[in-house]
Structure 1
């Protein structure tokens, strides 16, 4: 859990105000949550009424602090979507230094995910910014399949879900995304990037999204404890660059979320901890740099 604080504080020290402005994540409203989540599930979680088995599937004990964390983890992604979609938006890309909770289903949470922040934010954008957003693309590059997101948007033609994941990493039953790219255990930089390059340009051409969500999990890293893939830090940076370049090329607004990353060694001074934290930071460093380039290239209004 401490990685969230490390990543945020380091980025705030490192990134100048000309590249990034930081805001505290707001708490998502129940109204927004119930765009994709069942009212009964939302009410029971907020009131501390989930069963022992339901909490076991989520992986966290219930507490008022955990409620606020879950609401903030979703609210930050919603706020980032508003930042790039509203009519007076000056931001093209935005990031949330949390989120990526893609194992939350409409009626339950799983895999350390209570609410599905990307699904909620996509639904909010389609509702509140309908004049600007009619098609949404989710590019999920976490090592685990984005099963909750796939389930929530099954049959919804406005949202296209694409998941690039290790075929041996499933939290629970597999769902069907609009595009699933299964990668075998042990895949490294070359094969992973080839797979991404084979699909990414066609995805943007086919979907023509006005808004893209990038689930930028770094549990594909070779230093990850449970990921089963073998990407290097340099390989993950190339992955990020491909997504940002594709979104820029097709004029899509973009929101990046954190996703997974579980160091083999939880000692904060260890090389594995350092590599995972730095890879998380790279996702946001590159997002800020890509946004700065796009802003410079944008024609005068």
Structure 2
């Protein structure tokens, strides 16, 4: 990434290291490098010509502006591993007795079938969901996407708008739309400035309804931490403890319904990249907490599939 770019790419290495340190002694937790997504898997979700244009660098200036990224071969590999890791985590959990598989990247919920937007080229969750439906028809009939990023999961909303097998639930800040608002199966808007109590109250109102109505076989958790008060883009005011309670509540519902869970990262934009600063540490801690919390809650049997950098 160019120096000074507003996307905090360095955070992935930082919170991956923290997650590894905190989970090193927990039995059953393994870290593996993300594989690159196959074109066949990408085509389960995205337009073939769009995929090929991106892979060879035929990207327009407007697309670069909308995605927030320039094009280079390293970023192609990063994009493919961002999808491939979520697909690998999905295979890992569906082929084992584990309750949770996780990817320390992904969460690219602004990508559309043939359009990039908001740091998202392809939708890793959508691709992984379609791969699960394709490859595990006896195990996966109903999928729930729980998107708790501060931004709406607009790309996934559109990608699954005509597929009753996948239910999209997005709970996001009402002041954080940067493009046209889309219609998820359930959208819950959170007022800017909301803290732990108000946020968790809303989650407690809607999460039980969604699980009861869907009884999902597989849940994807877009675990954006840009709802944290230290996030420079989030416009919400959750604390680290509030985020931990958010994560725990989802884990409890997954366990109660006997669902399989795939965790991905999401937004998290510290106000600076100084590792010694409080806001930077807040975002790194919040990201790592998601994975540590999942592994500890589900008994250490999860397969952690990170993006290694």
Shorter-chain TM-score bucket reads over 0.9
Residue 165 of structure 1 corresponds to 172
Q: Is 1:155 the counterpart of 2:135 in the alignment?
A: no
Secondary structure at 2:168 match in 1: strand
Deviation at residue 264 of structure 1 after TM alignment: 1.6
> Which one scores higher on RCO, CA 8 angstroms, separation ≥ 6?
2
TM-score where L is the length of structure 1: 0.95
Residue 51 of structure 1 corresponds to 60
Structure 2 gap ranges (5+)? 1-8, 303-309
Deviation at residue 14 of structure 1 after TM alignment: 2.1
Deviation at residue 69 of structure 1 after TM alignment: 0.2
Deviation at residue 11 of structure 1 after TM alignment: 1.5
Consecutive aligned runs of 4 or more in structure 1 exceeding 3 Å deviation: none
Residue 34 of structure 1 corresponds to 43
Aligned length: 293
Secondary structure at 1:112 match in 2: coil
RMSD: 1.1
Q: Is 1:221 the counterpart of 2:228 in the alignment?
A: yes
Residue 18 of structure 1 corresponds to 27
1:225-272: CA deviation from partner (whole Å, max 9, x where unpaired): 010000000000000001110011000000110100001222111000
Structure 1 gap ranges (5+)? 296-301
1:17-39: CA deviation from partner (whole Å, max 9, x where unpaired): 51510010000100000111000
TM-score where L is the length of structure 2: 0.93
CA contact (8 A) 1:94 1:287 kept: no
Give, in whole Å, the separation in 1 of the partners of 2:82 and 2:20.
Answer: 18
CA contact (8 A) 1:237 1:282 kept: yes
Give, in whole Å, the separation in 2 of the partners of 1:39 and 1:293.
Answer: 39
Give, in whole Å, the separation in 2 of the partners of 1:125 and 1:133.
Answer: 7
Deviation at residue 162 of structure 1 after TM alignment: 0.1
Give, in whole Å, the separation in 2 of the partners of 1:26 and 1:2.
Answer: 20
Residue 298 of structure 1 corresponds to none
